Amino acid sequence: MPPFPRLKTGLPVFRRCIFALLYLAALCSSGCEGIRTAPPGGAGYSVVFSDDADRSSLIRATEHQLNYLGRLRPGTVVTIEGDTYTVDWLAQSLRLFLDIIKGNPPEAELDRILHEKFTIYKAGGRESAPTGEMLITGYYQPLCAGRLVKSPPFLYPLYAKPSSLQVRNDPHTGKSTIGRLDRQGNLVPFWTRAEIEEKNLLAGNELVYLQDPVEAFFLQIQGSGLIRLPDGSIRGVHISGSNEREYKSIGKLLVDEQKIGKEGASMQTIKRYLHDHPLEQKRILHHNSKFVFFKWDKKEAEGSIGEILTPGRSIAIDREVLPVAAVGYLVSRRPVVDQTGAVTGWEPLRRFVLPQDSGTAIKGTGRADFFWGSGQYAEAVAGQMKEKGKLYFLVKKRL
């Protein structure tokens, strides 16, 4: 199955070599006029549009997406299976979509209008899934108690981005290489999680201290969070960089070691195992050499495109293979949880979404991460979501 098969309508769809517009902007500044994809292929698909959430959140998320497009370099273009789109055209697509949603048409009429006015593309999903299904997971914004000064039990720091982290940009490709300088002035890989934590290599860069190393680890996975300080005030933290080491899933490690079952693996079961086996914590956490740095930021979670995330509408994708500038439509399932956070059932998830974030674990055309917001409900649902799904993108048709 190609990464982006065709729809039944014969409309072209994206393939693996498509890049996010943010990256395209950097390429175009060095003379590139766009990226042409490989020939299409694959089976046909169709979709019926409906939406199971309030439209005010969709309007808000779409407006944030338009803010993002307004910051992109004018003239940036992307060619998709022979169809070339400019930033301006993609902005027009979003405005048209916004106008339609604000008109609040009945569901059947909305479906008719969208098929009439938009070209529909479908992400190809995982290579191992012949039907083009994706893996849809969830994430949320944690709330953690913290201290600005180290004092028991607040011993586990979140670090600000250190000055030793060096970034070198290739002016020809637009690609960045991240590392540190050795004694000879050569750029070498930055320290791993184990090296940073075992050797205290970033002393002086502590931003805030948490009371649980597992909590600190998962806040790095989520990428942003809220910190409640002793005076009752709440401040936001947001990712400011990373050591760019390979991300390795500790959940997969625990499954491979038969410490937890594959079907029951979730954020909750992983946390429970780590807390129940404190002597194993360090080894397991250090399995993931990726390490994230933070900065103080607004309370609202912010995505990698620089816009505030909308709970229930924003998703994280791999920006190098899926488009960040078009409205999306997600078909999957969501868990129903009780007051204790236990799953009591599942119900359909059919939702217009906006690709506004990315993540170290979200790679390829077969992955998307759904943002649930903050609070106990968001944590419970996000930690349980590990579902099959399909993702579509809508772009305004040419006359």
pLDDT at residue 27 in the model: 28
Q: Which domain holds residue 99?
A: 21-140+303-396
Q: Final residue of a domain: which of 272, 297, 322?
A: 297
For residue 211, being part of any structural domain is answered with: yes
Residue 279 counted as domain residue: yes
User: In this predicted model, what pLDDT tens digit does every residue of 34-92 receive, in sequence order?
Assistant: 322 222 322 234 789 999 999 999 999 999 999 999 998 888 877 555 678 898 999 99
Residue 189 maps to a domain? yes
Is residue 93 over pLDDT 90? Answer: yes
Q: What is the DSSP track for 4-30?
A: SPPPTT------TT---HHHHHHHHTT
Q: CATH number of the domain that 237 lies in?
A: 2.40.240.50
What percent of the chain has a predicted confidence (pLDDT) above 70? 86
CA angle at 15 for the pair 13 and 17, rounded to the nearest 5°: 145
Does residue 21 have a pLDDT over 80?
no
Distance (Å, whole) CA 226 – CA 230: 13
What φ, ψ does residue 56 adopt, rounded to 5°?
-65, -40
**Phi, psi (deg, nearest 5) at residue 261:** -80, 150
Count the helices and strands in the chain (H runs, E runs): 10, 18
Answer yes or no: do 274 and 386 share one domain.
no
- Whether 284 and 344 share a structural domain: no
289-302 tens-digit pLDDT: 999 999 998 888 88
- Same domain, yes or no: 145 and 290: yes
| 383 vs 399: CA distance, rounded Å | 44
- Examine residue 11 and state whether it is found in any structural domain, yes or no: no
For 143-202, the pLDDT digits (tens) are 999 999 999 999 999 999 999 999 988 887 778 899 999 999 999 999 999 999 999 999
Q: What is the pLDDT of residue 166?
A: 94
**Tokens coding 233:** 């005030």
Which one has a higher pLDDT value, 179 or 320? 179
What is the CA angle 108-313-382, rounded to 5? Answer: 120
Extract the tokens encoding 177.
Answer: 């290489």
Asked whether residue 222 is domain-assigned, the answer is: yes
For residues 154 and 121, membership in a common domain is answered with: no
User: 12 is written with which tokens?
Assistant: 């072209």
Rounded mean pLDDT of the chain?
Answer: 85
Name residue 191's amino acid: W
- Report the pLDDT averaged over residues 364-377: 92
Q: Is residue 72 part of a domain?
A: yes
219 and 281 co-located in one domain:
yes
Q: Are residues 99 and 45 in the same domain?
A: yes
Six-digit token string for 15: 């393939």
Number of folded domains in the chain?
2
Please tell me whether residues 164 and 288 are part of one structural domain: yes
Residues 156 and 269 in one domain: yes
Give 312 or 365, the one with higher predicted confidence. 312
106 three-class SS: coil
Which region, left, alpha or beta, applies to residue 34 given φ > 0 means left and ψ of -120 to 50 means alpha? left
pLDDT confidence of residue 129: 66
pLDDT at 197: 96
**Same structural domain for residues 130 and 155?**
no
Statement to judge: residues 109 and 183 lie in one domain: no
Residue 95 above 60 pLDDT? yes
Find residue 109's DSSP bridge partners. none
Give the domain-ending residue among 297, 323, 357: 297
Pair (114, 165) in one structural domain = no
Boundary (domain end) residue, out of 279, 297, 315: 297
pLDDT score for 339 = 83
| 14 within some domain | no
pLDDT at 81: 54
The crossing angle, in degrees rounded to 10, of helices 213-222 and 267-276 is: 160
200 lies in a domain?
A: yes
- The CATH number for 48's domain is 2.40.40.10
Same domain, 279 and 313: no
